[in-house]
Structure 1
Amino acid sequence: MAVRHSIRGETRTLFRKAFLSAFDGNACSRRVILAGVLSGVLAPQTVSADAFPGDLLLFPELTSLHRFDLKDGSSLKNYWINPGLNLFYGLDQDRFRFLLEWLVDRSAQEVQRLQLGWRWQDTTFWVGRFHNPIGYWNIHFHHGAYMMTSITRPGVMTYETSGGPLPMHVTGLYVEGVRELGDSSLYYVLNAGVGPDLEKKRLDAFDVLDPEGTRLPAVTLRLGYQPVSFGSDEIGFSFSYTEISGRRIGVDRINQIVAGVFANWRSENLGFLGEAFYIHNDFTGGASEPESDVLNFYGQAEWRVADDLTLYSRVEGTFNDNGDLYFDHFRNFVRDRYMGGVRYELPYKMALKLELSREHTRDDAFGQVGLQWSAVFP
């Protein structure tokens, strides 16, 4: 037990040091204050490891991507290697809840989720920065790579820091709960807050430690039906409305509606996850075409061949996005993908993944080979 406590203590010390050194700039004082608060939460004044409150998880990963058949002058790299570490901490005490998710990799060094919650009966009220509950993928698979069967996320579900076209993070109020209906249940989520700003190359989600940029309102409603309460099978829909400053693309504002349906089904050895999205952009001020409509879908199938071996495949498609004022801004958005892969479970909650795909972006079409090691350490 003493060894266990020592490891946890060293982990918390390293986290605090890394948290402080990872941030700089104009928001330094705010970040130092937040780091001090988190240090107090994560380092209880007790000598018993069993008394450590909450759950602290580390999700390290090492991802290597090799692209071939790129066009001459492509903005994409032939070879990309990305080490990353995702820290997740959750605390659930009586009615009080706290959640922190902090990510460091080559594309992001920031707090991805920071939530304070209060539970009342079957409903929890959160305030902070959270994952926008658009569809299924974005609330079930977070930044820890080990949680996903695949290496890549669907193109439409790509995070803002990696060039994704939709708001994946919102800051404000988040309400979630479940209503049991006999053996089944209805899971509901409603959030309201501020969405991203549109920078030169990507969306910029609101940073609670550096709240700069033009921030406009965002609202999302999600309903999911589970035939077996708290099971994996689920069907449902989501509706999101976000206002985004459009000065980077020559308009005053983009009023964006994202409506989607999803279905997730699992048996002992087989699984399927599919989503379809209708994306409507209404441009105000300066646009030659005042609105646009884009359709997107993906479907992922999985086959668990053995306890430690899973085969998977995913197909993605986007329609009516060519020449779209908004989507033309995201040049590296993966609009179409045909992918297959294998995941092998290693001891001590580690996994190796190999993934082969053919992908289409706005300016390019290429093949890709991905290799990833990922893990979770309690």
Structure 2
Amino acid sequence: MKATKYALPLLCLVGLLWGSMQRAEAQRTQIRGFVDAYSSYQKGKLNFGLGEQDLFITSEITERLSFLGETVFKYSFDSPTDFDISIERVILKYNYAGNHSVLLGKHHTPLNYWNDTYHHGRVFFPTVERPLVFSEGFIPLHTTGVSLQGQNLGRLRFGYDLMLGNGLGSGDIADNNPFKSVTAAVHIKPKDGVRFGASLYHDVISKGSLVHNHSTGASTLARARIRQSIMTASVAYSDSVFSKKYELLAESSMAMNKADSLGTQNAVATYAYAGLRLTDKIIPYVRFDDIRYHKQEVYFHDHRVQSFVGGVRYELSYLAVFKLEYQHTNHHRMTDADRVVFQVAVGF
């Protein structure tokens, strides 16, 4: 009698679990995680720290409709718990014809190769951190809006992104002015591992807007209404990820900031990366960064900066990577900085 009493609820529970598993399988939902930790040595001081923990979810809801979500847990000096939760991407993608899709949500702005290719999992970064163009707040990292996208079209595998979204200084739920940001990006991949890209971003930043830098937590205040246009060109070469011999990536961005009373000022940010695969697991690499502002810059802080990083990457597997890196940074208004970093990055 006792066995009969518990048999029906147990069978119902098993049935519910089985149904959930079948639905998850039908949707092909994947939940992945990425995390990194590091040790650094600078000015005679040894430090240990945690990087970002990245929760990455993808799901094929139907044959044409899919979802991508990315949430990052990271250190924040002004958080009571020392860590903040940041919603980096929430995207619904509808494939309406062939390789053409419409996307709605919070995106990585497809303005340059790095921002369009890498998510927050450091295990996939060729270096310990992103180039300076990110940490200096030179480009808009995220845009909340709608975009049209095409991939692998024709013999040259042409691709495009056309995006309309909230501008700089806006939040994820509303724009802070009547103007919308516009992004147009195109690329071709004429051979395996070769990609050439170009893009244009335009926005009107209202006076008094506070633009938050997601990389550093710092903010930039627009002292006047700014019409901003950013042009970017990139070239990337890698026969395939985690194989072959050579890795090359170079990008350059020019930002044109126009204020009604102060005219137009240009700023240029460039970086170049090169890696050489000595064995299946060992890749020494270098990267140079250079950011230059006009003396009368009307929007960016005049933090002219150059940096050199050199290191070696050891790929235990494609989801477990060690990096040992030397970093030298030369700031226009600060003393030079030298730092050695050892990073462990994994995916699971």
The TM-score normalised by the length of structure 2 is 0.80
Alignment of 1:122 onto 2:96: no
Contact 2:39 2:46 in 1 (8 A): no
Contact 2:145 2:163 in 1 (8 A): yes
Paired letter, 1:217:
K
Q: Give 3-state SS (helix, strand or coil) of 2:115's partner.
A: helix
Equivalences for 1:248-267 in 2 at 5 Å?
249=221, 251-267=223-239
Deviation at 1:362, TM superposition (A): 4.7
Counterpart in 1 of 2:215?
Answer: none
Deviation at 1:144, TM superposition (A): 1.0
Alignment of 1:366 onto 2:340: no
Q: Which of the residues 83, 86, 109 maps onto 2:54? A: 86
Contact 2:270 2:289 in 1 (8 A): yes
**Alpha-carbon deviations, 1:227-283, whole Å to 9, x = none?**
13xx33101211111222332646332211110111011242011100111110012
Q: Which of the residues 148, 153, 157 maps onto 1:180? A: 153
Alignment of 1:349 onto 2:319: yes
Paired letter, 2:108:
H
Contact 1:339 1:357 in 2 (8 A): yes
Contact 1:174 1:192 in 2 (8 A): yes
Q: Which of the residues 43, 64, 76 maps onto 1:68? A: 43
**Distance change in 2, residues 1:227/1:212 (3 Å):** closer
Structure 1: runs of 5+ lacking an equivalent = 1-42, 70-76, 198-204
Q: Kindly report the root-mean-square deviation, in angstroms, between the aligned alpha carbons of the 2 structures.
A: 2.7
Alignment of 1:246 onto 2:188: no
Counterpart in 1 of 2:181?
Answer: 218
Counterpart in 2 of 1:59?
Answer: 34
Counterpart in 2 of 1:102?
Answer: 71
Structure 1 runs (4+) deviating above 6 angstroms are none
Q: Which of the residues 136, 157, 162 maps onto 2:134? A: 157
Give, in whole Å, the separation in 1 of the partners of 2:344 and 2:27: 29
Contact 1:322 1:328 in 2 (8 A): no
Give, in whole Å, the separation in 2 of the partners of 1:136 and 1:130: 14
- Greater share of helix residues, 1 or 2? 1
Matched pairs, number: 306
Give, in whole Å, the separation in 1 of the partners of 2:193 and 2:30: 22
Counterpart in 1 of 2:6?
Answer: none
Deviation at 1:45, TM superposition (A): 4.6
Equivalences for 1:109-148 in 2 at 5 Å?
109-120=85-96, 121-148=98-125
Contact 1:315 1:339 in 2 (8 A): yes
Deviation at 1:325, TM superposition (A): 3.2
Counterpart in 2 of 1:277?
Answer: 253
Counterpart in 1 of 2:20?
Answer: 46
Structure 2: runs of 5+ lacking an equivalent = 1-16, 77-83, 211-220
Deviation at 1:181, TM superposition (A): 2.3
Deviation at 1:97, TM superposition (A): 1.1
